[in-house]
């Protein structure tokens, strides 16, 4: 959430910057400024009424003592009138504050100055590409056919049990999933991240805190009877650990990692891009989260990007890193880097990670602050997170890129976690 004072002091800048996200903020910002003007006027009137009431209250006793009963009673009537006016001022003031807040949360985060201008994914900037695109045999199979051939993933059974987008992993397919999770968690642990095992459902306050609500409400599974939401990513519960807390600056950054199942409705998805593991309603992912000092958050973003790059490189997959343009970056993010791996049999790039700096946007919602020695007022922290990594498309790329006539090779780095080096 953008800071209200910043919006009030820089309305033109907010509108101009959000144009880069293809978001027209002019009406919202204008309404906020107008409401704030009314609020200030009301505050002035309320303060004047309180001052007058205090003055008259002091005079009433003196008037009675002087025998001026008529004047004293008139003064009492005036204080009653002022008290009612103040009550109405307070109610109007609270209503305006609520309306300002409702408008304030509709504004996306301001994009970092390095975010490219663009309308969608075709305008994202490729900043790095590594690895040779594998030349596959014409008989190479897409991962959904390999999964069926080697009895790794049963998509139809998932439809029977739940519905489309809920695959069942079995045998070596399930073992490969577990191996990847353990590998990613082990790498995060080596990098200094504390592991968290979070709940898979969160309350409304948690969804609001990280910006999923109200922006992505239609994409989340809602447990209506209990008003809980299935998590779309472990980012939500892990970041909310720090909601309504004041941290010590000397302890920053806080580094957490978590494995979780993730649930997304993916409303509106259709066509060939949803084949196999390309787009699911339930999938596994390891997340990394950092709570950082504002002066150091962009250096930490670079560190997190390097961590994710190391994972993809160790798996031996061709990959590229993209800086997302304004039209593709999320509501809450200031700057996001996406990782894509090349799927040989599908001949396409598949997104496997997003690494983002949210600056103070989530922290303002979370009331997440830190106290620095010698600074009296607590300051707002910065939050960052990244997928390290999301499993479905990693599995898809591994199956397709490592297929041979004899079976599917397992990357060397995973063998200690799988216990086998070939699926055949």
Binding residues for L-serine: 233, 264, 287, 385
SS3 of 61, please?
A: helix
Helix (H) or strand (E) holding 300: helix 297-314
Residue 72, H or E segment: helix 69-104
Closest Cα to residue 274, out of 173, 167, 177?
Answer: 167
- For the annotated binding site, the residues are 233, 264-266, 287, 351-354, 385
| Residue positions counted in the chain | 424
* Residues contributing to the annotated binding site for ATP: 264-266, 351-354
DSSP codes, 351-412 = EEEEEEE-TTHHHHHHT-EEE-TT-SS-EE-EEEEEEEEEHHHHHHHHHHHTEETTEEEPPG
What token pair was written down for 126?
Answer: 């490729």
Count Cβ neighbours within 10 Å for each residue of 150-159 and write b for 16 or more, e otherwise.
bebbbbeebe
Question: Residue 37 to residues 8, 30, 47, 327, 411: CA-CA distances in angstroms?
Answer: 10, 11, 15, 32, 63
Asked if residues 21 and 108 have their Cβ atoms less than 8 Å apart, the reply is: yes
| Cβ–Cβ < 8 Å for 158, 168 | yes
Helix-, strand-, coil-residue percentages of the chain, each rounded to 5 = 45, 20, 35
């Amino acid at each position: 959430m953008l800071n209200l004072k910043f919006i009030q002091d820089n309305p033109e800048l907010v509108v101009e910057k959000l144009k880069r996200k293809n978001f027209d903020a002019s009406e919202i910002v204008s309404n906020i400024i107008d409401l704030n003007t009314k609020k200030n006027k009301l505050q002035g009137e309320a303060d004047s009424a309180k001052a007058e009431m205090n003055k008259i209250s002091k005079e009433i006793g003196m008037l009675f003592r002087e025998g001026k009963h008529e004047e004293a009673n008139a003064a009492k009537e005036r204080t009653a009138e002022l008290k009612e006016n103040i009550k109405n001022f307070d109610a109007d003031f609270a209503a305006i504050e609520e309306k300002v807040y409702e408008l304030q949360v509709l504004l996306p985060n301001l994009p970092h100055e390095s975010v490219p201008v663009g309308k969608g994914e075709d305008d994202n900037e490729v900043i790095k590409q590594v690895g040779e695109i594998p030349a596959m045999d014409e008989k190479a199979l897409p991962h959904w056919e390999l999964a069926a051939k080697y009895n790794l993933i049963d998509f139809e059974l998932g439809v029977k049990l739940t519905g489309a987008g809920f695959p069942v992993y079995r045998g070596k397919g399930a073992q490969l999933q577990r191996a990847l999770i353990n590998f990613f968690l082990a790498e995060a642990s080596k990098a200094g991240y504390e592991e968290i095992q979070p709940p898979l459902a969160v309350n409304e306050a948690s969804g609001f805190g990280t910006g999923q609500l109200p922006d992505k409400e239609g994409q989340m599974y809602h447990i209506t009877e209990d008003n809980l939401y299935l998590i779309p990513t472990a980012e939500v519960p892990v970041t909310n650990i720090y909601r309504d807390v004041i941290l010590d600056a000397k302890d920053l950054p806080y580094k957490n990692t978590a494995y979780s199942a993730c649930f997304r409705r993916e409303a509106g998805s259709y066509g060939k891009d949803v084949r196999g593991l390309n787009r699911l309603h339930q999938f596994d992912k390891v997340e990394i989260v950092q709570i950082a000092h504002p002066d150091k958050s962009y250096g930490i973003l670079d560190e997190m990007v390097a961590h994710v790059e190391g994972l993809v490189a160790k798996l031996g997959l061709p990959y590229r890193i993209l800086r997302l343009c304004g039209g593709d970056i999320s509501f809450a993010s200031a700057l996001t880097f996406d990782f894509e791996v090349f799927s040989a049999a599908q001949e396409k790039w598949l997104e496997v990670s997003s690494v983002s700096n949210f600056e103070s946007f989530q922290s303002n919602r979370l009331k997440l602050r830190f106290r620095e020695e010698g600074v009296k007022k607590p300051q707002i922290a910065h939050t960052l997170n990244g997928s390290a990594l999301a499993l479905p498309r990693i599995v898809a790329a591994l199956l397709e890129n490592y297929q041979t006539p004899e079976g599917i090779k397992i990357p060397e780095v995973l063998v200690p976690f799988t216990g086998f080096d070939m699926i055949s």
